Amino acid sequence: MQKYILIFLASFAFLFACEPNAPEEDPKLPILGNRDFDGTDTIYHQIPDFAFVNQDSQIVTNATFASKMYVADFFFTSCPTICPKVKKQMLRLYENYENQDSLIFASFTVDPKRDTVGKLHQYANNLDVDTEKWHFLTGEKEELYGIADDHFSIAKEDPNAPGGFDHSGRLILVDENRYVRAFCDGTDAMAVDRFMLDIEKLLAEMRGEL
Q: Can you give the pLDDT at residue 11?
A: 41
For residue range 55-82, what is the model confidence (pLDDT) as tens digits? 999 999 999 999 999 999 999 999 989 9
Nearest to 109 by CA among 160, 167, 161, 60: 167
pLDDT digits (tens, 9 = 90+) for 5-64: 333 344 434 333 334 444 456 789 999 998 888 778 889 999 999 999 999 999 999 999
The partner residues of 35 in beta bridges, in order of sequence, read 44
Task: Report the percentage of the chain scoring pLDDT > 70.
Answer: 88
Residue 117, number of CB atoms within 10 A of its CB: 16
User: What DSSP string describes 48-89?
Assistant: PP-EEE-TTS-EEEGGGGTT-EEEEEEE-TT-SSSHHHHHHH
For residue 24, what pLDDT is reported?
A: 57
Return d(Cα 69, Cα 59) in angstroms, integer: 18
E strand residue ranges, 11-160:
35-37, 42-44, 51-53, 59-61, 69-75, 103-109, 134-137, 155-157
| Cα–Cα distance, 137 to 151 (Å, whole number) | 15
User: What is the number of other CB atoms lying within 10 angstroms of the CB of residue 111?
Assistant: 21
CB 150 within 8 A of CB 75: no
pTM of the shown model: 0.85
93-114 mean pLDDT: 97
Rounded to an integer, the average pLDDT of 186-197 is 98
Contact 150, 144 (CB under 8 A): no
